[in-house]
Structure 1
Amino acid sequence: MIATIGLAIGIVFLAELGDKSQLMALTFALRYRWWVVLGGIAVATASVHVISVAIGHFLGAALPTAAIAVVAALTFLAVGVWTLRELVTGGSGEDEPPASRLVTTAPFFVVLSAFLLAELGDRTMFATAALATDNNWAAVWLGSTIGMVAADALAIAVGILVGKHLPERAIGFGSGLLFLFIGALTGLTTAAPALGVPAAIGLALLVPAAAGSVLWLLTSRSRGRTVLVSEAGPAGIEEARSEDRQ
């Protein structure tokens, strides 16, 4: 049993290195407390892997992986747009963005649901099911869960280190753009698997690049307008308020 646990840990840990799950973990670590992210990942991983080892490859044949991937892609895109929208429309200070509802309400369940959607039908799930057909299912479940949590913990550590050297607003924009990238990449690999990973990554990068350009233009206009209004004094402020009401 010990050997099976070690085998499962090694296989899943290596399979997760460079996978989108690590990028997701890093992105969430920029927004939430590290123990909340790690806890959500652990529960989601344990849940998915207990399903895969219990039902094995039969579940893989019946699971609507394409539909789940589409839902996951739309979820990540929505989270990214929501995060960026609230940062642009509600920011009052340079280093203090408004608290997003996704940050203030049940972040654990946000992480949990996102990883559940992302991991259902993922290659790690099928690898776990394959291991469970010839090995002790409990050992495979325990080892695969430990291996994935350990790999994602590395990404969380990177997110913590990065977060310490960036202003809060930059972290908000960065995490929003990363969510857009993950959503676009998930959608592309699902809709057009023949593209290949490099081509899908290149096309997916266009989405956050376009969003970043739009945000830069909106932010520049907003800052320029703020400067003009402040220079105009009370009359300029009243005029700006009239324009906003219109």
Structure 2
Amino acid sequence: MDAFLVSTGIVALAEIGDKTQLLAFILAAKFRKPVPIILGVLVATIANHAFAGALGAWITSLLSPEILRWVLGISFIAMAGWTLIPDKFDESEAKFGRFGVFGTTLLTFFLAEMGDKTQVATVALAAQYHAFVPVVAGTTLGMMIANVPAVVLGDRIAGKIPVKVVHAIAATIFAILGVATLLGAGESLGF
């Protein structure tokens, strides 16, 4: 249950102000069809985060618990710093119009998530918790918590979210996870 809850919370916070949330705002404004956009975000996130979770599980099979602990601890601390860097969104990432609303959302979200901080966080969380399904379910729910309001409410909420404060909270959580991992938290779990 911890893997699911931590994954949900971290990704929901990290996603606020992220380029994929900005993409959700743009797609909502462009197409004005929330249901296919939300479904596209969901399918793209499940596919992307399932890949990331599988990668995290695979990494744990390659590294000794001691090395894994250091890699994960440093990765979480690096994620804390990365979370504080504002994302920039390129409008060209949203130009797949010939695929319809669902297809455009699916493709643009999947591609925008490649190498994004929430995908990297999914890899690290899957490696940390050795819990593929709870981590992928949690990170997917976190993405939906952050992006569904962006699609449904669009411009009405864009200027009212204190993005810097939310990013600072997410960065603090990543830093705490990193330090706790480096100090040996979770040794009973094998890392």
Q: Deviations 1:101-127 (Å, cap 9, x if unpaired)?
A: 92x752211111001110011111111
Q: CA deviation at 1:3?
A: 2.0
Query: Contact 2:7 / 2:139 at 8 angstroms: preserved in 1?
Result: yes
What corresponds to 1:27 in structure 2? Answer: 26
Secondary structure in structure 2 of the residue aligned to 1:106: helix
Return the letter of the residue paired with 1:47. A
Larger radius of gyration, structure 1 or 2?
1
Match of 1:15 in 2: 14
Give, in whole Å, the separation in 2 of the partners of 1:19 and 1:128.
15
Structure 1 counterpart of 2:37, which letter?
Answer: V
Question: Partner residue of 2:53?
Answer: 53
Aligned to 2:115: 121
Unmatched 5+ residue regions in structure 1? Answer: 59-71, 80-100, 163-246
Residue ranges of structure 2 left out of the alignment (5+ in a row):
60-88, 158-191
For 1:1-246, list aligned pairs within 5 A.
2-32=1-31, 33-56=33-56, 75-76=92-93, 79=95, 102=97, 106-135=100-129, 136-159=131-154, 161=156
Shift of 1:160: 7.0
User: For residues 100-157 of structure 1, what are the alpha-carbon distances to aligned partners after superposition, in whole Å with 9 as ceiling and x for unaligned?
Assistant: x92x752211111001110011111111111111211110000000001110112113
Residues 128, 144 of structure 1: 8 Å contact kept:
yes
Deviation track 1:21-41 (CA, whole Å, cap 9, x = no partner) reads 111101111122101111100
Distance verdict in 2 for CA 1:161–1:36, change over 3 Å? farther
The 2-side partners of 1:43 and 1:52 are apart by: 14
**Taking CA–CA contacts closer than 8 Å with sequence separation of 6 or more, which of the two structures ends up with the larger relative contact order?**
2
Give the match for residue 203 of structure 1. none
In the alignment of these two chains, the number of paired residues is 125
Q: Letter of the aligned partner of 1:37 in structure 2?
A: I
Instruction: Determine the C-alpha separation between the residues in 2 that align with 1:147 and 1:37.
Output: 16
TM-score, normalised on structure 1? Answer: 0.46
Contact 2:15–2:21, Cα closer than 8 Å, also in 1: yes
Q: For residues 18 and 147 of structure 2, what CA distance do their matches in structure 1 show?
A: 9
Asked if structure 1 preserves the Cα contact closer than 8 Å seen for 2:44 and 2:110, the reply is yes
What is the Cα-based RMSD across aligned positions, in Å?
Answer: 2.5
| TM-score, normalising length: structure 2 | 0.59
8 Å Cα contact 2:7-2:125 kept in structure 1: yes
- In the TM superposition, what is the alpha-carbon distance from 1:73 to its structure 2 partner? 5.1
- Judging changes above 3 Å, is the alpha-carbon distance between structure 1 residues 140 and 105 closer, same or farther for their aligned structure 2 residues? closer
Contact 1:45–1:115 at 8 Å: present in 2 too?
Answer: yes
